[in-house]
Structure 1
């Protein structure tokens, strides 16, 4: 425990010492060099992953020559640096994140889109911003479950979260593509995580963030596997329900393959979204269910 606390203290000090001086750099880039401001967080989060001791094992790549809606499963606050290290991205975040001390500043510097889903008009405004950003060439990350899981399952996707882009499948915007990213935390200190161990990394239910983050920093180096799906033109999806269904199936298949050590195995058949929906009330604690998104 003493060694774990020492490690956590050293990692936290290194993170703050690295991050705080760079925050005004990104703020300046946002004003004078928008293209550089898109790329800088990608470099920054690669360094953060090294500080945290996170090793990324990546299968596939986010396309660089088209605007991308990157649909992902959500397990932990670690997803933010992990996905940001994958490619230059911005996140769709719930409005409350904009009020979190320090975290809100980092989110704004990364040009996150904040959504107040309690107000229909505000949701519509956020949808318009997401579409504008996609048309400008950005890669936007959407955690389609609407909350985080324990890492052992993929929760049912919320079709309402795809409303922002459901009207984008138009001939005038053929360049927008959809990709999936299945994120699974597989090892701690080189030891494979079991089904019982994996929730120690997941941040879900009513977990308090500070104590959870401290425990994760104490645990040691972490390996995460990311399977990035092939790009599919947004115009090929009929509507938001079709988009949600097909991306959920793809992520379920990829997560199952990683968990079973059989990535890309066509013989794996994940639980269908409709079946999972019927079981979700028993799956996870629902108190304070929505995290980053």
Structure 2
């Protein structure tokens, strides 16, 4: 990309070399069966965060490995994927069109991303059934419940429909349909340890008609990007807590954590 600084070019080359080394190994792991191929994506996301200069700060308690659950997060940028994926083995839910994107679609597929076409009910049922199976098997699945990326300064309303579909998919399992929802707030707080305002947070967001290549170039030239991941209290969604109640509680937790990240002080 034209206009990249020498250091950014070097980090981009390192990311490309690392990806080229990890992808063939991941393809082999996928052929071994569904219980394989979860560790290499973790390495890839950590490499991506390092090469992109991302510095992660974590508040709260993430879901324990092997417990299974639905991670419900706000969505700011494509950068959210490595930021979350660097924490622990997990899989993502993405809109169907992502699968057709050059390079990104392929990388998403080899990480076992679930692509959902919300315009086709039969396709949605199949994906939510797979989500339910993964959660029952002790895996964590990430759902960006806003349905799209925001501008980095506010949280859009969360949609409860997919939470309800996953709940229904789990209804005939041994846990009687109960599912643990883990609210996760993602806030890009600034650069190089310096807190940013609305302008800086918007510049890190990828939304609307923003093109990927210029946005990636800006991220590489930024040098160091600070992001806070804040985990809310787990929510047990089941017979006593409906999908709508669980969604409202998750949304409140995410909004509160984002305000705390921006202001630097607790919000009651």
Q: TM-score, normalised by structure 1?
A: 0.84
Q: Could you say which residue in structure 2 is the equivalent of 1:55?
A: 55
Conserved? CA contact 1:171–1:235, under 8 Å: no
The aligned residue for residue 198 of structure 2 is: 195
Q: Which consecutive unaligned segments of at least 5 residues does structure 1 have?
A: 268-293
Structure-2 residue corresponding to 1:24: 24
Structure-to-structure mapping, 1:222-237, within 5 angstroms? 222-235=225-238
Residues 55 and 222 of structure 1 are in contact (CA less than 8 Å); yes or no, is this contact kept in structure 2? yes
- Runs of 5+ in structure 2 lacking a partner? none
SS in 2 for 1:216: helix
**Distance between the aligned counterparts of 1:180 and 1:223, measured in 2?**
20
SS at match of 1:163: helix
Alignment counterpart, residue 207 of structure 1, candidates 193, 205, 210: 210
Decide whether aligned partners of structure 1 residues 192 and 237 sit closer, same or farther in structure 2, where only a CA change above 3 A counts.
farther
Measure, in 1, the Cα distance between the counterparts of 2:194 and 2:256.
24
Structure 2 counterpart of 1:64: 65
Map Cα deviations across residues 100-133 of structure 1 (whole Å, 9 max, x no partner).
1111111111110000111121111111111111
Computed over aligned residues only, the root mean square deviation of the Cα atoms, in angstroms, reads 2.0
Between 93-102 and 191-200, report the one with greater CA deviation: 191-200
Alpha-carbon distance between aligned partners in 2 of 1:260 and 1:237, rounded to the nearest angstrom: 34
Tell me if structure 2 keeps the 8 A contact 1:66–1:177.
Answer: no
Q: In the superposition, relative to structure 1, how do residues 201 and 237 fare at CA in structure 2: closer, same or farther (>3 Å)?
A: farther
| Farther off after superposition, 231-240 or 247-256 | 231-240
Q: Residues 171 and 104 from structure 1, CA distance in 2 versus in 1: closer, same or farther, beyond 3 angstroms?
A: closer
* Displaced runs of 4 or more, over 4 A: none
Decide which moves more: 181-190 or 88-97.
181-190
Task: Report the counterpart of residue 5 of structure 1 in structure 2.
Answer: 5
Tell me the distance in 2 between the aligned counterparts of 1:65 and 1:122: 27
Match of 2:125 in 1: 124
Report the count of equivalent residues. Answer: 264
Q: Give the structure-2-normalised TM-score.
A: 0.91
1:281 is aligned to: none
